[in-house]
């Protein structure tokens, strides 16, 4: 079984990455940062975690307010550095753990945390600023993989401190129920005290920062009761993101020891680290938890002709589903209609995917792992009604399928669709369909 080897809290100020890239390790103004980080780096080197569950907040880089989630779990195979306006830092991408992230996703949803999931998004300084210093890379290879968990703390309402603490407890159950023997470190980032906006810009509270570090080890439940307003008052509005440290603390046992702690206030943000290890062991009932995780979809495969779209399928078939989704973009749609082969190549589709698309093999695409609502968009683009697609799913002609409906109507998600009455869509190429429609 997987086990949690400890928890790390660390500030993620972009100044850390700046000082590292500018080789300021011996500069008197920056040296204390690296001195405080060195024991954490040594801890990582000694413990050799296989995976980091990394809790952070994005800074309106990969996540914007057109779709802003409280908790977003990364389920990708790789995470690259984000361009935050001045070009991306020259750091190699870090690997994600697909199987482990799938397990965590199911476990957290089982524990009634309403997660969202992300792929194909780079990570900003919330990850790469501190970890470029703390994780020792050999031949440009990171020593472990990550499962990132983005917490939406920038647009209120945000999760409470208590909810973050409970999320950590749920992460503990997720890790300890994972069947593979891997070592997992929980890393939470943000803070400490700082404010970067308004007339209070530049606020810090050294006394509170030290109290928070002490209480994080000894009184996390007390910290979980503090309101957002109180956190903002004590640590600055942006410093209130330290509620994310409670996710890490909740994943540990009730009693912990502080292996290392550091604190330095160079400019705008108090930069701190803490390493905690559990001093007791209260294992979960793994069998009971796994049974709960399996309960909702148990034996779903016995429902004939039914294929749930899971996070595993989303990971594995991301490319084809992104291609179908992007048909809502006029430029992508036009290229597909005018030169489908070039469109396929530019999207990196493999030969199997190209063949499925050429043949408009609706049922084959479902079996392959495409989600129906991407096919619905494809149908709208090529002028095929939903009813044609439904008939093809069942291996029936449109006429036979319509006999099973109460009304004889044809429709599509596109208001511009001209219905094409063909009994055997799977045998027609995209180009033939387009030409016949024209």
Helices (H), 243-350: 245-250, 286-295, 311-316, 318-325, 330-338, 340-346
CA 350 – CA 341 distance, rounded (Å):
11
Residue 412: the pLDDT is 83
Question: What pLDDT does residue 416 have?
Answer: 58
Hey, which residues are catalytic here?
125, 194
- Predicted local confidence at residue 414, as pLDDT: 74
Closest by CA to 273, choosing from 264, 265, 261, is 261
Within 13 Å and on the Cβ side, how many CA atoms surround 189? 28
Residues whose CB is less than 8 angstroms from the CB of residue 276 and which lie 6 or more positions away in sequence, other chains included: 6, 7, 8, 9, 216, 217, 248, 249, 252, 256, 257, 258, 259
Please tell me the predicted confidence (pLDDT) of residue 155. Answer: 96
The pLDDT of residue 191 is 86
Q: Output the pLDDT for position 423.
A: 39
Walking along the chain (438 residues) 10 residues at a time, the average pLDDT comes out as: 97 93 94 96 98 97 97 98 95 98 98 97 97 94 98 97 98 98 97 93 96 98 98 94 97 98 93 96 94 96 95 96 97 96 97 97 97 96 93 94 88 61 43 49
Query: Model pTM?
Result: 0.92
Contact status, residue 79 vs residue 147, Cβ threshold 8 Å: no
């Amino acid at each position: 079984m997987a086990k949690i080897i400890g928890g790390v809290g660390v500030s993620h100020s972009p100044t850390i990455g700046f000082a590292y890239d500018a080789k300021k390790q011996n500069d008197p103004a920056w040296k204390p940062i690296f001195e405080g980080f060195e024991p954490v780096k040594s801890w990582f080197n000694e413990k050799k975690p296989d995976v980091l569950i990394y809790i952070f907040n994005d800074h309106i880089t990969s996540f914007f307010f057109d779709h802003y989630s409280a908790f977003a779990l990364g389920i990708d195979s790789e995470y690259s550095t984000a361009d935050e306006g001045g070009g991306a830092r020259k750091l190699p991408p870090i690997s994600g753990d697909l199987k482990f992230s799938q397990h965590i996703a199911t476990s957290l949803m089982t524990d009634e945390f309403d997660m969202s999931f992300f792929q194909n998004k780079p990570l900003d300084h919330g990850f790469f600023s501190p970890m470029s210093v703390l994780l020792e890379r050999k031949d440009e290879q990171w020593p472990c993989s990550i499962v990132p968990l983005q917490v939406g703390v920038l647009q209120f309402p945000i999760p409470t401190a208590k909810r973050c603490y409970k999320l950590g407890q749920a992460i503990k159950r997720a890790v300890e129920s994972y069947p593979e023997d891997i070592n997992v470190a929980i890393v939470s980032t943000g803070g400490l005290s700082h404010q970067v906006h308004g007339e209070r810009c530049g606020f810090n509270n050294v006394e509170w920062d030290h109290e928070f570090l002490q209480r994080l080890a000894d009184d996390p439940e007390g910290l979980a009761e503090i309101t957002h307003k109180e956190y903002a008052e004590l640590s600055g509005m942006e410093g209130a993101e330290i509620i994310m440290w409670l996710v890490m603390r909740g994943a540990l046992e009730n009693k912990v020891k502080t292996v290392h702690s550091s604190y330095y206030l160079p400019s705008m943000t108090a930069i701190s680290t803490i390493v905690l290890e559990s001093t007791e062991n209260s294992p979960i009932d793994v069998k009971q938890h796994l049974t709960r995780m399996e309960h909702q979809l148990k034996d779903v495969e016995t429902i004939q002709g039914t294929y749930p779209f899971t996070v595993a399928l989303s990971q594995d078939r991301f490319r084809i589903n992104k291609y179908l989704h992007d048909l809502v973009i006029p430029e992508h749609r036009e290229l597909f209609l005018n030169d489908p082969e070039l469109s396929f190549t530019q999207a990196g589709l493999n030969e199997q995917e190209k063949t499925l698309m050429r043949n408009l093999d609706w049922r084959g695409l479902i079996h392959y792992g495409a989600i129906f609502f991407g096919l619905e968009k494809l149908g709208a683009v090529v002028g095929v009604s939903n009813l044609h697609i439904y008939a093809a799913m069942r291996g029936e002609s449109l006429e036979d399928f319509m006999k099973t409906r109460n009304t004889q109507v044809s429709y599509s998600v596109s208001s511009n669709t001209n219905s094409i009455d063909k009994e055997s869509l799977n045998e027609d190429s995209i180009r033939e369909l387009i030409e016949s429609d024209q």
